[in-house]
Structure 1
Amino acid sequence: MNVTHTLSSFHMLRLYFFISLMCLVRSATDETCPSFTRLSFHSAVVGTGLNVKLMLYTRRNRTCAQAVDSAVLGNLNVTKRTTFIIHGFRPTGSPPVWMGDLVEGLLSVEDMNVVVVDWNRGATTIIYTHASNKTRKVAIILKEFIDKMLAEGASLDDIYMIGVSLGAHISGFVGKMFDGQLGRITGLDPAGPLFNGRPPEDRLDPSDAQFVDVIHSDTDALGYKEPLGNIDFYPNGGSDQPGCPQTIFGGLQYFKCDHQRSVYLYLSSLRGNCTITAYPCDSYQDYRNGKCVNCGTPQTESCPLLGYYADNWKDYLRKKDPPMTKAFFDTAEQKPFCIYHYFVDIITWNKNIRRGSITIKLRDKAGNTTESKIDHEPAIFQKYHQVSLLARFNQDLDQVTTISLVFSTGSIVGPKYKLRILRMKLRSLANPERPQLCRYDLILMENTETVFQPILCPKSQM
């Protein structure tokens, strides 16, 4: 009897222990932060059915998401801006490497709701068509969620969608369902394949939100070439991005680096250490030739800023008909990508016309140097005619103490030419209030560096 009682007690203890363990496991599961779906390349090969997860981040839970859906809004505060981040095609099944930085960056600049739209189950496939065919279904799910927000008192003015690649067109489809009344859509290199040449109802369009801004960084491959927004930014002309591999020997980066650069340029606007200014222009060539850098002067509108603060320009766009603008700018090879623009004004007194390029190097008191090679097309130097060259530097040196110039015709053989400079002037576009620097009576021997100390330009020449 005692043995039976002992065995019975032992089994009861095991049962209690098992129940307690299950409760602990359930409790641990309930408290675990939902994370972005991580799939393998095998999943991409066999394909995945669509399943959309919505994960909410706020300043109260920056790193631990809360699962939400059209039935449960969770901690989402409908009185604040809500930003949706929508990724694109995922041919390997891995989470986007930039997602965490984008969430944190947005929360750092504004107290808002950030909703990560995880449709990795659906976007993960090696067959691009299968992913693109699911974009409208994702948009319908997002519309249902926004409808729930509106029922709880949210405003469409406070809805902001950031769509990457296919995600940009998903954003456009959502905007169409709300008759273009969403507050803002940002398209980060909207997908080109299967969307190029499509009518507005089948892609992102300027009418899909109150303000639509687009960054095109891979127009010759994975991205969309033509304008899709109220303002369309084309970094480095929109195709080959500096710092990205130019041949297939660069591996996977060769295929995705240009396409992803749009995301990293947007991220740079959130970090505060680099404000990228763009210049409205008809073409990249005109921008490079310095024909479109007059914005920001007292007589003109301010220049548009890239990224999060691009909507500061929407009031100016409302004055245009149609309210669409293309803007160009150059970037550095590495983060934070900022380029600082200067004009180099040169008046020569050569008897004969000279054609060639100029390389200019600046040095400050601390010994820091920065260089710009202005060689995208030969400059034409004529006697007593001012040539204004747009120089781009990776650093912005506050107090320039030394300047060097190199003139080159690009010819390997043949005579070496001289460029006789009557006056050279250096002026900053980013900081027009800075003193302009001049130098007079210089003779540049071709392919030979000439170093000199500039002086302040007389006010009469400013």
Structure 2
Amino acid sequence: PLKMCFHCAVNKDTDETCPSFTRLSFHSAVVGTGLNVKLMLYTRKNLTCAQVINATAFGNLNVTKKTTFIVHGFRPTGSPPVWIGDLVEGLLFVEDMNVVVVDWNRGATTLIYTNAASKTKNVATVLKEFIDQMLLTKGKKSDQVLMALVNSAGIDTHFLPSSILGLISGLTSLDPAGPLFNGKPPQDRLDPSDAQFVDVIHSDIDALGYREPLGHIDFYPNGGLDQPGCPKTIFGGMQYFKCDHQRSVYLYLSSLTESCTITAYPCDSYRDYRNGKCVSCITPQKESCPLLGYYADRWKDYLKKKDPPMTKAFFDTAEEKPFCMYHYFVDILTWNKNIRRGAITIKLRDMAGNTTESKINHEPATFQKYHQVSLLARFNQDLDKVAAISLVFSTGSVIGPKYKLRILRMKLRSLAYPERPQLCRYDLVLKENVETVFQPILCSKLQM
């Protein structure tokens, strides 16, 4: 990876070979800092060394190319965001553009959140002046301004004149802040009218993030609540407070740098998604499913057909990058005389011995005689050719009788690759809490 000058020792701007993001101390957070906004430009020509620019000095900025602004949020300790270098590098890797880091650390650094929030309108004013001059420059096209709002609900384009609003093609907000912005009217927070296409990733809606939809499409990874791999208790230290909040940034980064693509599913609720009710976008007859991150705007033509053009989309992720999950349906047809309720754990293994597991236990499934239940299974690996499948049935009861689940047919079908052969097993009895392993066969074409 390229070494960028984000964490260099900070000297006075005039002394710096490569201007760096402002690094402040915890002492600065205690006493507070006055606002000073610094715009740092990166291009493929100066990929590792920023240029400080302003409304009268554009430096290497090429106004005929797309421009992406990266705006950070509240900084309670004064340290630079650890992800900014990766975000700049990733954006310039996928497209030859201008990337402008909006460094307002002098202003965002404070222990008093309200002090930082109050300065967001002033940051927007600086951006307004800069964008105004960009648009006055010869050759500027309307689809070449893109603003990425990172962890900040308050710095939105409502503070820009209406003549500019229509020229901002895309605005991405990564877990916009909830405190002081929840319940605010549209003019005081992020809103779909802020750009031609607004997409939002909500990863911490029960703490630091904003709960309600704010854009044309709002993504809720893992329901927007606790993110896998993040500490569950305060014993996790600072990560307990910021891991969920920061996950939105790393999910966006994965769309720039990773080999897999995170697919989301338009849905009214996380529960409906987990219950497999929101996967119609994967069929050939429907619009394709929206993609998370940099390529989310590929879905905007579909949104134009909606009234209002707003959608919530849900998906699950793995604990660590590349975060992708691979979705399958497990169709189970049973013939028990009595109704059985419980959870299913399914494990897949390929010829090389690689295994991946999915626990479908978010709520008990109800198995009735001659009634097919379709369960949505999510795996963190995609095994092309499945050699063995194992199933475990559990009612969750520690005491009491051990039940059996009598299966007439089990079918496994891939959502991501519906053209793959569907795998079946017929006449199977699962004993509660006992793993049953078998080799699947191709499903009968008569029953596909």
User: Structure 1-normalised TM-score?
Assistant: 0.92
Q: Which of residues 381, 399, 415 in structure 2 aligns to 1:413?
A: 399
- Name the SS of the counterpart of 1:61 in structure 2: coil
- Name the SS of the counterpart of 2:47 in structure 1: strand
Distance 1:214 1:175, change over 3 A: farther
Could you list the per-position Cα deviations for residues 398-449 of structure 1 after superposition, in whole angstroms to 9, with x for gaps in the alignment? Answer: 0000000000011111100000000000000111111110000000000000
Could you list the per-position Cα deviations for residues 61-88 of structure 1 after superposition, in whole angstroms to 9, with x for gaps in the alignment? Answer: 1110111001100110000000000000
Tell me by how many angstroms 1:239 deviates.
1.1
Q: Flag the structure with higher helix content.
A: 1
Q: Which amino acid aligns with 2:65?
A: K
CA contact (8 A) 2:37 2:123 kept: yes
Aligned residues: 435
**Corresponding residue for 1:267?**
253
Distance 1:459 1:174, change over 3 A: farther
Tell me by how many angstroms 1:157 deviates.
2.1
- Name the SS of the counterpart of 1:295 in structure 2: helix
CA contact (8 A) 2:125 2:160 kept: no
**Corresponding residue for 2:281?**
295
| Correspondence list, 1:31-430, <5 A | 32-153=17-138, 154-166=140-152, 168-174=153-159, 177=162, 178-430=164-416
**Corresponding residue for 2:7?**
none
- Name the SS of the counterpart of 2:168 in structure 1: coil
CA contact (8 A) 2:72 2:103 kept: yes
CA contact (8 A) 1:338 1:394 kept: yes
Sequence identity percentage: 80
Measured on the aligned residues, the alpha-carbon RMSD in Å equals 1.3
Tell me by how many angstroms 1:206 deviates.
0.4
**Corresponding residue for 1:460?**
446
Q: Which amino acid aligns with 2:258?
A: G
Tell me by how many angstroms 1:174 deviates.
4.6
CA contact (8 A) 1:172 1:203 kept: no
Tell me, in whole angstroms, the C-alpha distance in 2 between the residues paired with 1:68 and 1:29.
Answer: 13
Q: Which amino acid aligns with 2:365?
A: A
Q: Which amino acid aligns with 1:231?
A: I
Tell me by how many angstroms 1:294 deviates.
1.2
Distance 1:175 1:326, change over 3 A: farther
Tell me, in whole angstroms, the C-alpha distance in 1 between the residues paired with 2:386 and 2:317.
Answer: 22
Tell me by how many angstroms 1:49 deviates.
0.3
Tell me, in whole angstroms, the C-alpha distance in 2 between the residues paired with 1:451 and 1:276.
Answer: 30
Tell me by how many angstroms 1:343 deviates.
0.2
Could you list the per-position Cα deviations for residues 337-357 of structure 1 after superposition, in whole angstroms to 9, with x for gaps in the alignment? Answer: 111100000000111110000
Q: Which amino acid aligns with 2:108?
A: A
Tell me, in whole angstroms, the C-alpha distance in 2 between the residues paired with 1:67 and 1:128.
Answer: 27
Would you say 1:439 and 2:425 are equivalent positions?
A: yes
CA contact (8 A) 1:57 1:103 kept: yes
Tell me by how many angstroms 1:270 deviates.
0.3
Tell me, in whole angstroms, the C-alpha distance in 1 between the residues paired with 2:62 and 2:165.
Answer: 24
Q: Which amino acid aligns with 1:107?
A: L
Tell me, in whole angstroms, the C-alpha distance in 2 between the residues paired with 1:122 and 1:70.
Answer: 20
**Corresponding residue for 2:4?**
none
Could you list the per-position Cα deviations for residues 142-193 of structure 1 after superposition, in whole angstroms to 9, with x for gaps in the alignment? Answer: 0101111111132342111111222x43133355653343111000000100
Distance 1:228 1:272, change over 3 A: same
CA contact (8 A) 1:175 1:181 kept: no
CA contact (8 A) 1:172 1:185 kept: no
- Name the SS of the counterpart of 2:69 in structure 1: strand
Q: Unaligned stretches of 5+ in structure 2?
A: 1-10
Distance 1:393 1:210, change over 3 A: same
Tell me, in whole angstroms, the C-alpha distance in 1 between the residues paired with 2:331 and 2:53.
Answer: 58
Could you list the per-position Cα deviations for residues 81-104 of structure 1 after superposition, in whole angstroms to 9, with x for gaps in the alignment? Answer: 000000000000000000000000
The range that moved more, 265-274 or 339-348, is 265-274
Tell me by how many angstroms 1:207 deviates.
0.5
- Name the SS of the counterpart of 2:49 in structure 1: strand
Distance 1:209 1:100, change over 3 A: same
Tell me, in whole angstroms, the C-alpha distance in 2 between the residues paired with 1:199 and 1:181.
Answer: 23
Tell me by how many angstroms 1:29 deviates.
5.6
Tell me by how many angstroms 1:31 deviates.
6.6
CA contact (8 A) 2:148 2:172 kept: yes
Tell me, in whole angstroms, the C-alpha distance in 2 between the residues paired with 1:185 and 1:176.
Answer: 16
Tell me, in whole angstroms, the C-alpha distance in 2 between the residues paired with 1:173 and 1:30.
Answer: 36
Query: Highest CA radius of gyration, 1 or 2?
Result: 1
Q: Which amino acid aligns with 1:295?
A: C
